[in-house]
Amino acid sequence: MFLNLLPVLVVLCVASTPLAARAATTFELKSVKIDLPDSDRMFPEGPGSDAINNNCLACHSAGMVLNQPALSKQAWTAEVNKMINNYKAPVAPEDVGTIVDYLTALKGAK
C-alpha cells in the first residue's frame, strides 16, 4: 500500500516546492512621489474657457495644451475623447462639445 502512495507523495512534494519558495519571498509596497509641474496659468478668456479650465486643469497645465500644434475640429474631438476614454479624465459629458469648440477656436487648423 505504501509503495502505491510513494509516487503520489513525491509528486506532491515536488509540486509544492515552488509554492513554499514563493511564500518565503517577501513582497513590499513602496510609495512613489511624483512632482507635477505647478502653474497658475489658465486658458485665455473666451467662450468655453470656464468649461476647459474646470475640466482639464485637474490633470495638466494650460501650457501643455497651448503648446500643441493646431488641429482640426475632428482631431481635437479625438484628443478630448482619448483623454476621457483612455486616461479616464473626469470631464463632464455636457462640457465635451464646449471644450472641443474652444480648442478649435483657439488652436484650430487654419
- HEC sequence for the chain: CHHHHHHHHHHHHHHHHHHHHHHHCCCCCCCCCCCCCCCCCCCCCCCCHHHHHHHHCCCCCHHHHHCCCCECHHHHHHHHHHHHHCCCCCCCHHHHHHHHHHHHHHHECC
Q: Is the pTM of this model over 0.85?
A: no
| Per-residue confidence (pLDDT) for residue 1, from 0 to 100 | 59
All domains in the chain, ordered by first residue:
49-107 (1.10.760.10)
Residue-level pLDDT at 27: 77
The reported pLDDT for the residue numbered 104 is 97
pLDDT tens digits in sequence order for the chain, 110 residues long: 556 777 776 777 666 666 555 556 677 888 888 776 667 789 999 999 999 999 999 888 999 999 999 999 999 999 999 999 999 999 999 999 999 999 999 999 97
